[in-house]
Amino acid sequence: MKSRFRVISDVGESGEVSIPAMESDRPRVPAHLSDQWSSIGSTVGILLIMGIGALFIDLSVSWGLNQQHLLQPIHRTLEMAEPFGDFAGVILVTIGIGILKPTARRHLPLLLLGVATAGLTADVFKMLVGRVRPTNLDWSVVRTVGDTFTGWLPFIHGGWKHQSFPSAHTATAWGLAMLLVRMFPRGKWFFPVVAFCVGFQRVETGSHFLSDAIFGTAIGIGVSCVWLKTPLFGDFLPVTAIERDEFDGGNPNGEHRNPSDKSSVGGESSAG
């Protein structure tokens, strides 16, 4: 039977053999990966708590935004962000990346699948939990936030008007934002800001309550991060990003060559 341990011995200057040490060959989870999972879990957990807390102010926020139109001056600005959370918009973004950054094309199918997974996860909850959208809410009969929920399986009765929880647009936008940040780190602030505007737009237009957008954010971030960390897609963007500072002034084909390894092409060394 093959031993799982190996003996490590060392002969000192005096000629004495040191006490044998045993080192396990079993692979260990790198500390930084463990920290990343912990960070993802903490972020999603905080968002879920925020979503629960937002339930207590959902009616007040929706009344102010949808009935009093408090943010009407920035309505059109928010509207411009909405396509970022629509799958048709996601496809346009993907096509644009493929045209402008040919080296990214091999990663685009995974990008689309990851974003679709985030949006469809939110859609599953929409099919299970019924909630009236603010724009369809009869404010004359609503007294508590519980009155906005209409029971289970809203796709059977009520249709779109009863599918407010959670926001699939927001989940899609955050899923896309997180994956784009992985591909293009220099957009680490821009993409999340656009995703935030998508969620804000859904609340401002009365399509969703504030809590719906927050829960959608949690789904988008959680699903996209899990998507990138799973073993099946662990090699997604192996050089961490397609866009690096080294690309500036690089070769005309857009390929990154590591100065320390002449045999490396596209940022991947011959050593793997």
**What single string gives the DSSP state of each residue in 60-86?**
HHHIIIIIS-TTGGGHHHHHTTGGGGS
Q: In whole angstroms, what separates CA 35 from the centre of its chain?
A: 17
Q: What are phi and psi of 25, to 5 degrees?
A: -85, -5
Q: What is the pLDDT along the chain (272 residues), one digit of tens a residue?
A: 444 444 444 455 555 544 444 444 444 444 444 566 678 889 999 999 999 999 999 999 999 999 888 888 899 999 999 999 999 999 999 999 999 999 888 888 889 999 999 999 999 999 999 999 999 999 989 999 999 999 888 877 778 889 999 999 999 999 999 999 988 889 999 999 999 999 999 999 999 999 999 999 999 999 998 888 766 555 555 444 444 544 444 444 444 444 444 444 344 443 43
Q: What is the DSSP letter of 139?
A: T
Domain borders along the chain are 37-233
Residue 269, C-beta contacts closer than 8 angstroms, at least 6 positions apart: 258, 261, 263
Rounded-to-integer distance, Cα 137 and Cα 18, Å: 78
Q: In whole angstroms, what separates CA 105 from the centre of its chain?
A: 20
The domain defined by 37-233 folds into: Vanadium-containing Chloroperoxidase; domain 1 (1.20.144)
Q: Write down the pLDDT at residue 69.
A: 87
Burial (CB count within 10 angstroms: exposed 0-12, middle 13-18, buried 19+), residue 122: buried
